[in-house]
Amino acid sequence: MHEQSPYDRTQRNISGCGLSALMSRRGNLVNGESIIRSIGLLHERGNGLGGGFAVYGCYPQYADQFALHLMYYNSRAKEETERFLDERFELAHEETIPTRAVPGVDPSNAPLLWRYFVTPKPLRLAESMMPTAEEFMLRAVMDVNARIDGAYVFSSGKNMGAFKAVGSAKDVGRFYRLEEYQGYIWLAHDRFPTNTPGWWGGAHPFTMLDFAVVHNGEISSYGINKRYLEQFGYQCTLRTDTEVIAYLLDLLLRRHHLPLDIAIAVVAAPFWKDIDAMEAQDPELAELYRTLRSVYAGALVNGPFAIAFGYSRGMVGLNDRIKLRPLVAAEKDDFIFLSSEESGILEMCADPDTIWSPRGGEPIIAELEPDVFPDIPQTIARVDLAGVGVRAAR
């Protein structure tokens, strides 16, 4: 009998994928070594078909520019994209993304990796009638990914970057030389794709502007979420269900200005039966949840999932409502850690002050302290929802 390997690409592993994350609430910068070791410890949760990282605070010398990371699959795509960018943006700097040869990342199927640091041209921004530079950038990202064959923007935020490839996450981290980068938030992902292809653009994290998401699970509501997002101008082009989570966060938090707690209650809303049970004790809260489920029905994410997502001033960990995927959290001094397994946390922090497993639908929210990086605007509000079950990092 053939003995199956955890790396057998023909087999379905319904609990696969591993994620790890860390954040310093005081904005202390750490290099990528510990997050590479953490996700490397979880390598059996992946199968070598995708790994990736996101880091915040890595481009302080270009903090005011949007950092565009692009994959090019042919020279014509690069030429067309650069013409597109030159028409719309002022360029501060461009270069190939530094990499090194590692055995676990096959150079034969690797795209050309390039990064640009840009700001919208004032006249083009004014002509576009877009309300903000972020909205102008969103439209540019969508246009490149949907209209230029062989070009994919896989990161577009300020002072942050995503780095991903086909390969195991620990090899992808070494490939991108991430131990040379410094950041105050790190996300990492090792992929075991089940329903979608293993390719460079389909590896996690998925990003849109400031938001980066890593995900373990399956989004059974993908079709509904995708059609809902298309009403607001988003186009899903990267052939992986997790893409919708990044766009939903951008829509709810940046464009609709929902408080973080409310946006989480949209994405992982309570069951109707639980809302009905709230009626006797807190009718106003029950009515709020009914309204959110009705107004944002297309933004509800169904299916088993554990996610970690980052933005410029914070990081969130979240399970689906009945916790069908593992997620563990820990704290040590000003640091918050997330991982699929306790061992992944202990690889980053050997003696945490506290460690716990959050309940289904209970978000773990960590934010920069108010006096840290005052030049980074606090654009995401918070509300105090009694009964939501939010455990914020102390």
| pTM score, whole prediction | 0.93
Q: What is the mean pLDDT of residues 348-367?
A: 94
pLDDT band, very low/low/confident/very high, at 5 (cuts 50, 70, 90): very low
pLDDT band, very low/low/confident/very high, at 381 (cuts 50, 70, 90): confident
Residue 98 lies in a domain: no
pLDDT tens digit sequence for 162-176: 999 999 999 999 999
Q: State the pLDDT at residue 378.
A: 85
| Whole-angstrom distance, CA of residue 84 vs CA of residue 75 | 14
Do residues 264 and 363 touch, judged by C-beta distance below 8 A? yes
Residue 253 lies in a domain: yes
Count of structural domains within the chain: 1
pLDDT tens digit sequence for 41-51: 998 898 888 99
Both tokens assigned to 182: 């410094």
Residue 218 lies in a domain: yes
pLDDT tens digit sequence for 117-172: 999 999 999 999 999 999 999 999 999 999 999 999 999 999 999 999 999 999 99
pLDDT above 60 (res 11): no
**Cα atoms in the 13 Å half-sphere on the side-chain side of 381:** 10
Residue 205 lies in a domain: yes
Q: State the pLDDT at residue 196.
A: 72
Sheet holding 112-120, edge to edge: 89-96, 112-120, 66-72, 151-155
Q: State the pLDDT at residue 8.
A: 45
In sequence order, the β-bridge partners of residue 317 are 308, 364
Residue 286 lies in a domain: yes
Query: Which has the closest alpha carbon to 42: 287, 386, 327?
Result: 327
pLDDT tens digit sequence for 98-109: 999 999 998 888
Both tokens assigned to 26: 């005081």
pLDDT above 60 (res 317): yes
pLDDT tens digit sequence for 219-270: 999 999 999 999 999 999 988 889 999 999 999 999 999 999 999 999 999 9
Residue 242 lies in a domain: yes
pLDDT above 50 (res 80): yes
Pair type for strands 391-392 and 364-367: parallel
pLDDT band, very low/low/confident/very high, at 96 (cuts 50, 70, 90): very high
Q: What residue has token string 């650069």?
A: 82
Residue 298 lies in a domain: yes
Q: Where are the extended beta strands (E) located within 130-205?
A: 151-155, 160-165, 182-183, 185-190
Sheet holding 314-319, edge to edge: 206-208, 211-217, 305-311, 314-319, 364-367, 391-392
| Whole-angstrom distance, CA of residue 390 vs CA of residue 101 | 43
Q: State the pLDDT at residue 12.
A: 46
Active site residues: 17
Both tokens assigned to 57: 């605070």
pLDDT tens digit sequence for 190-204: 998 777 778 899 999
Do residues 10 and 323 touch, judged by C-beta distance below 8 A? no
Q: What is the CATH number of the domain that holds 190?
A: 3.60.20.10
Residue 11 lies in a domain: no
Q: What residue has token string 């979420």?
A: 225
Which domain covers residue 261, as residue numbers? 22-63+165-392
Q: State the pLDDT at residue 108.
A: 84
